[in-house]
């Protein structure tokens, strides 16, 4: 056991003692718990109806592999008591958004749907947006795509002449002349007129288009009777436009309610959540998210649901959720009733014929708590249907989630088979025999400044990130790629020989004949190693173009559409990404060092102390003279530091 491992074991044992003591103090109340790792970083946030039962369950009994991984990193925990489950639900959502714990379900989807918005202004406007804010505006949607939203907005623009210009112009524009704006820029438009149009638009978008059609039809007939045929034709066109826009959507239910239907599936530590957006009784959009989960499946699913609605004022009238799986409610005999499940299954109360009555009652109580908490928070009706058409809708969402998960695993398996085959074939193309371990190198610098290099390792075609290495170039001055390659290859394989590390079956360098020749020279003539080395040459667009091997190097006629070529491309992209990231970090640190080292009276020791105390150069710039006293820095030197960093004379201090 190394010194680090021994120290870690000691810290772990000490932490467990603290945790054991804190577990005995947990209350029988609802709230949120916050799990932290060795560095004090928050890694998981959860909610509980009974804090004592839930938190204890992490440290008793057995868990799934994913949950065990989370538990193994816990070194401390905190908890916050709430007065209700609803408060715990909201608090958990806010804590996750604030801290982004690595083991929580995080809503990262960049998929956003378009909404139609009536702005909250003295002279309101109608607009299509993908960003929803709590700004007192009225939002309607989501729409299946931007085209559908724009078509609906164009129709409403013809029917209701609200302000069109984002910035009020000095005089009337074309919209006024074609009858689509009342021109509040030049004429007085009363609040009553605007409010009437807003109410009409809201009624239309909430499913009242049939009533509006009837009103327009009556006006059209009246205009025809008065021989005002131009007005009658205009109204007829409006009616036809309403029909054209609204009939494009397929009706799926008899009612005309807005509802979101959720379903989820879990497998191999992954969860898929499928949402069906129904507006005015019509299915207008579907969306699926896939992510790893580490806690209880249903709790993590509800966490996802809360994040969906946390910042979204465009809520439906109803939300449909699936039933709670039985194993979430069934308590193992060796753990508290709130314990985490060992292995999630798909069973739930409506599919298990022999579920004990007390378990059914427990599931129903849990479902009631979920419904009441969400309804209290969102002010939206929440259903967990057990039978009938509504249950079928939830089952359809669950089936879609299951299909998405199955498809993901099928694609992963296919990619693994292709990768394995590509690795096998690569050895045949290069004439090197079986290739299992590949080590790839890339250099990065800007006109010779802050030169660095990086190495990535792929084993059986997959990256082994624990084996990645970074190198600060020490002996090379200026942008000399060949000498940089010599230094890094020498340092890497001297260490491999010294520490008896695993030798690669293939070395990949970024470049052609010169880089290959430099690497071969160091390996064979200095270290006595004979490892196959190939180079990847890029084209004018910085894309992988050719594979070369040997000394002198020759082109390998590897087809650019082959899996072997794609594998090498992935390796080159990964090592380039890793090298560029390291170079940016190094350059940023160098800039910080240069700024502080240029100040008289600041040496390496004081520079490190300043950065440790303040955290960054920006925070040092924002500090006051007295903030430097804890570091033993007097007013004169503190003023000089601020003057140098701010580029101007520091303000005199009393």
Distance CA 558, CA 564 (A): 8
Distance CA 331, CA 337 (A): 5
For residue 538, list its beta bridge partners: 544
Distance CA 64, CA 53 (A): 18
Residue range 646-652: average pLDDT?
Answer: 45
Distance CA 413, CA 300 (A): 26
Whether 54 and 29 have beta carbons less than 8 Å apart is answered as no
Give tens-digit pLDDT for 158-192: 778 888 888 887 778 888 887 788 888 888 888 88
Give tens-digit pLDDT for 346-385: 334 444 446 677 778 888 888 888 899 899 888 899 999 9
Distance CA 172, CA 391 (A): 54
3-state helix, strand, coil in the chain (%, to 5): 50, 20, 35
Residue range 63-86: average pLDDT?
Answer: 86
- pLDDT of 242 over the 70 cut: no
For residue 285, list its beta bridge partners: 277
Distance CA 506, CA 520 (A): 12
φ and ψ of 354, to 5 deg? -110, 30
φ and ψ of 326, to 5 deg? -60, -40
pLDDT reported for residue 7: 46
Whether 71 and 358 have beta carbons less than 8 Å apart is answered as no
Could you tell me the pLDDT band of residue 8, with boundaries at 50, 70 and 90?
A: low
pLDDT reported for residue 346: 37
What are the start-end ranges of the H helices in 61-135? 65-73, 85-99
pLDDT reported for residue 257: 80
- pLDDT of 431 over the 70 cut: yes
Q: Residue 576: CB partners within 8 Å, gap ≥ 6?
A: 442, 510
- pLDDT of 82 over the 70 cut: yes
Q: Of 275, 273, 257, whose CA–CA distance to 265 is shortest?
A: 273
Could you tell me the pLDDT band of residue 635, with boundaries at 50, 70 and 90?
A: confident
pLDDT reported for residue 435: 87
- Pairing between β-strand 138-140 and β-strand 282-292 as defined by DSSP bridges: unpaired
Selected residue with higher pLDDT from 150 and 505: 505
Cis peptide leading into residue 142 (ω within 30°): yes
For residue 116, list its beta bridge partners: 128, 140
φ and ψ of 310, to 5 deg? -60, -35
Distance CA 518, CA 635 (A): 55
Distance CA 189, CA 175 (A): 15
pLDDT reported for residue 80: 92
φ and ψ of 291, to 5 deg? -160, 155
Q: Is 470 helix (H, G, I), strand (E, B) or coil?
A: strand
Give tens-digit pLDDT for 121-156: 888 888 888 877 777 888 877 776 677 778 778 878
Helices then strands, each counted (H, E), the chain: 19, 19
Selected residue with higher pLDDT from 240 and 223: 223
Distance CA 348, CA 360 (A): 9
Residue range 588-615: average pLDDT?
Answer: 68
Could you tell me the pLDDT band of residue 111, with boundaries at 50, 70 and 90?
A: low
Give tens-digit pLDDT for 250-270: 434 556 688 899 999 998 888
Distance CA 198, CA 122 (A): 12
Residue range 72-87: average pLDDT?
Answer: 89
pLDDT reported for residue 440: 92
pLDDT reported for residue 497: 92
- Using the Cα atoms of residue 186, residue 190, residue 194 and residue 197 in order, give the sign of their dihedral: negative
Give tens-digit pLDDT for 311-345: 676 788 899 999 988 765 554 433 333 433 333 33
Whether 79 and 32 have beta carbons less than 8 Å apart is answered as yes
> pTM value?
0.58
- Pairing between β-strand 31-36 and β-strand 138-140 as defined by DSSP bridges: unpaired
Tokens of 265: 């599936």
- pLDDT of 647 over the 70 cut: no
Residue range 64-88: average pLDDT?
Answer: 86
Give tens-digit pLDDT for 258-302: 889 999 999 888 899 999 888 777 777 788 888 888 878 898 899
pLDDT cut 90: percent of the chain above it = 13
Q: Of 517, 514, 509, whose CA–CA distance to 534 is shortest?
A: 509
Region for 394 from its dihedrals, namely left if φ exceeds 0, alpha if ψ lies in -120 to 50, beta otherwise: alpha
Mean pLDDT of the chain: 79
């Amino acid at each position: 056991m190394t010194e680090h491992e021994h120290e870690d074991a000691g810290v772990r044992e000490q932490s467990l003692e603290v945790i054991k003591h804190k577990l005995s103090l947990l209350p029988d109340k609802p709230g949120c718990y916050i799990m932290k790792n060795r560095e004090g970083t928050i890694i998981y946030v959860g909610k509980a109806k009974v804090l004592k039962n839930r938190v204890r369950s992490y440290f008793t009994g057995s868990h799934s592999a994913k949950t065990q991984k989370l538990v193994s990193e816990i070194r401390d925990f905190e908890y916050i008591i709430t007065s209700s489950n609803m408060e715990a639900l909201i608090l958990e959502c806010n804590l996750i958004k604030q801290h982004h714990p690595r083991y929580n379900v995080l809503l990262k989807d960049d998929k956003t749907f378009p909404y139609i918005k009536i702005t909250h202004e003295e002279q309101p406007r109608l607009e299509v947006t993908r960003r929803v804010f709590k700004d007192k505006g009225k939002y309607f949607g989501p729409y299946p795509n931007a085209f559908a939203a724009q078509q609906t907005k164009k129709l409403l623009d013809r029917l209701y002449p609200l302000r069109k210009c984002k910035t009020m112009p000095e005089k009337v524009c074309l919209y006024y002349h074609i009858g689509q704006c009342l021109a509040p820029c030049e004429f007085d438009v009363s609040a009553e007129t605007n409010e009437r149009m807003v109410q009409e638009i809201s009624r239309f978008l909430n499913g009242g288009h049939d009533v509006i059609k009837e009103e327009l039809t009556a006006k059209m007939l009246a205009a025809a009777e008065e021989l005002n045929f131009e007005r009658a034709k205009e109204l007829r066109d409006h009616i036809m436009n309403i029909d054209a826009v609204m009939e494009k959507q397929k009706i799926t239910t008899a009612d005309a309610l807005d509802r979101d239907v959720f379903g989820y599936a879990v497998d191999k530590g992954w969860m898929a959540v499928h949402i069906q957006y129904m507006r005015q009784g019509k299915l207008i959009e579907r969306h699926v998210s896939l992510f790893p989960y580490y806690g209880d499946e249903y709790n993590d699913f509800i966490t996802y649901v809360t994040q969906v609605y946390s910042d979204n004022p465009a809520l439906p009238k109803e939300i449909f959720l699936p039933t709670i799986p039985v194993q979430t409610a069934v308590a193992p005999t060796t753990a508290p009733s709130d314990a985490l499940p060992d292995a999630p299954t798909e069973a739930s109360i409506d599919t298990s014929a022999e579920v004990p009555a007390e378990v059914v009652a427990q599931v129903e109580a849990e479902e009631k708590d979920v419904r009441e908490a969400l309804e209290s928070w969102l002010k939206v009706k929440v259903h967990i249907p057990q039978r009938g058409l509504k249950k079928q809708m939830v089952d359809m969402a669950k089936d879609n989630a299951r299909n998405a998960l199955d498809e993901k695993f099928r694609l992963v398996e296919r990619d693994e088979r292709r990768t394995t085959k590509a690795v096998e074939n690569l050895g045949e193309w290069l004439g090197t025999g079986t290739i299992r371990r590949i080590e790839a190198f890339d250099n990065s610098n800007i006109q010779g400044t802050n030169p660095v290099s990086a190495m990535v390792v792929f084993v059986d075609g997959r990256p082994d990130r624990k084996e990645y290495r970074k190198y600060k170039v020490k002996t090379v001055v200026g942008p000399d790629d060949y000498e940089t390659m010599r230094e890094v290859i020498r340092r890497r394989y001297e260490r491999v020989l010294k520490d008896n590390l695993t030798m690669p079956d293939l070395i990949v360098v970024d470049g052609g004949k010169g880089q290959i020749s430099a690497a071969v020279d160091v390996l064979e003539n200095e270290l006595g190693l004979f490892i196959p080395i190939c180079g990847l040459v890029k084209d004018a667009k910085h894309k992988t173009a050719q594979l070369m091997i040997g000394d002198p190097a020759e082109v390998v006629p590897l087809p650019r559409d082959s899996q072997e070529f794609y594998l090498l491309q992935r390796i080159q992209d990964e090592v380039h990404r890793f090298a560029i990231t390291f170079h940016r970090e190094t350059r940023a640190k160098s800039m910080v060092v240069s700024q502080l080292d240029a100040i008289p009276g600041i040496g390496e020791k004081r520079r490190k102390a300043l950065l440790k105390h303040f955290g960054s150069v920006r925070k040092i710039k924002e500090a006051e003279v007295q903030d430097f006293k804890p570091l033993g820095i007097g007013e004169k030197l503190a003023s000089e530091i601020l003057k140098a960093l701010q580029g101007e004379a520091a303000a005199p201090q009393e």
